[in-house]
A and B are shown apart, each in its own frame.
Chain A
């Protein structure tokens, strides 16, 4: 793994979320409360604003700072969930992670998100994209392969019935729409993978 340029990762992630904010909000309007895109954009812009300060810290501290910033700025239920993902990553990752350490930390972070949301795979949530992405990482897949798997996992939330979150109030009517949190994860997985591999 090439040396990790965190400022570049933050910029790429914030660009991606900003570019897809309307799409994410439209997904959330179908079965949620319609603020996911706006909330994510607010959070990632807040992180972008401090990208230099965050990237000057050791990686574990930087990830924890990003998680805290997301908790405080994203709002909704996504704030604690995406915030917990980064907070837990920061707790588990080493300052100079190799793929094994990154994989292990990512696995622990997904467990933390599940605990925070009292949720598990199969309930039409961000976990339904995080878990396949993690399994692909464990299996040694390339960044491009992992991104494709994450996209397909987000697509696979469409026929699911929501069992957690606001969408669960809709019961069967949540079927037929993609989970907005899952789509956000897929976008971030692709962006982070491409940036780490130095691709455009």
Chain B
């Protein structure tokens, strides 16, 4: 698929999966989509390994936009991007946006074939600067 992919990273697997459900229902299947949540040991948190897996799953040559919830999700997502490394890392952006609204808006933009830059800009419009 040539549309930008969306990755949802929450401390809670339930929040991540629920957000992905909303994207699927409101936007459809035209966007590569993956989610992860939880620390990998049954608790709340995020896992670099799981985030790397989700990026692989939602990978698109057009790039991947990541939506995160709290601070650790952002730090772990940035670490995951760095570990995936270039040349793909430059096509992966961690968005500064509320996770649910950001995922739905970014996926909507992506489903129309927008570039990674446009998808990320749409998500960022939701954040008070």
Please give the residue numbers on chain A whose beta carbons come within 8 Å of chain B beta carbons, in ascending order: 33, 35, 42, 68, 71-72, 75-77, 79-81, 83-84, 116-117, 164-166
Tell me, rounded to whole Å, the shortest Cβ–Cβ distance linking A64 to chain B.
Answer: 11
Q: Are B75 and A116 in contact (CB under 8 A)?
A: yes
Give the CA-CA distance A77 to B72 in the complex, in Å. 5
Name the residue of chain B whose CB is nearest to the CB of A84. Answer: B79
Give the CA-CA distance A77 to B48 in the complex, in Å. 10
Kindly state whether residue B1 has any CB partner on chain A within 8 Å.
Answer: no
Kindly state whether residue B108 has any CB partner on chain A within 8 Å.
Answer: no
A35: chain B residues within 8 A (beta carbon): 39, 43, 45
Kindly state whether residue B71 has any CB partner on chain A within 8 Å.
Answer: yes
Q: Which of B61-100 contact A (CB under 8 A)?
A: 70-72, 75-76, 78-79, 83
On whether A166 and B79 interact (CB within 8 A), knowing A33-B44, A35-B45, the answer reads no
Q: Which of B21-64 contact A (CB under 8 A)?
A: 39-41, 43-49
Name the residue of chain B whose CB is nearest to the CB of A72. Answer: B49
B83: chain A residues within 8 A (beta carbon): 68, 71
Q: Are B70 and A83 in contact (CB under 8 A)?
A: no
Please give the residue numbers on chain B whose beta carbons come within 8 Å of chain A beta carbons, in ascending order: 39-41, 43-49, 70-72, 75-76, 78-79, 83
B44: chain A residues within 8 A (beta carbon): 33
Contact of B72 among A71, A72, A76, A83 (CB under 8 A): A76
Give the CA-CA distance A51 to B45 in the complex, in Å. 27
On whether A81 and B75 interact (CB within 8 A), knowing A76-B39, A76-B45, the answer reads yes
Q: Are A79 and B71 in contact (CB under 8 A)?
A: no
Tell me, rounded to whole Å, the shortest Cβ–Cβ distance linking A167 to chain B.
Answer: 10
Give the CA-CA distance A68 to B40 in the complex, in Å. 16
A76: chain B residues within 8 A (beta carbon): 39, 45, 72
A71: chain B residues within 8 A (beta carbon): 48, 79, 83
A117: chain B residues within 8 A (beta carbon): 75
Tell me, rounded to whole Å, the shortest Cβ–Cβ distance linking B68 to chain A.
Answer: 12
Contact of B40 among A75, A80, A116, A165 (CB under 8 A): A75
For this complex, 10 residue pairs linking A to B, each with C-beta atoms less than 8 Å apart, are: A33-B44, A71-B79, A72-B48, A75-B41, A75-B45, A76-B72, A83-B79, A116-B78, A117-B75, A164-B71
B39: chain A residues within 8 A (beta carbon): 35, 75-76
Tell me, rounded to whole Å, the shortest Cβ–Cβ distance linking A116 to chain B.
Answer: 6
On whether A80 and B79 interact (CB within 8 A), knowing A165-B71, A166-B71, the answer reads yes
Contact of B75 among A33, A68, A72, A77 (CB under 8 A): A77
List 13 extra interface pairs beyond A75-B40, A80-B48, A80-B75, CB under 8 A. A33-B44, A68-B83, A71-B48, A71-B83, A72-B49, A75-B46, A76-B45, A76-B72, A77-B76, A80-B79, A84-B79, A117-B75, A164-B71
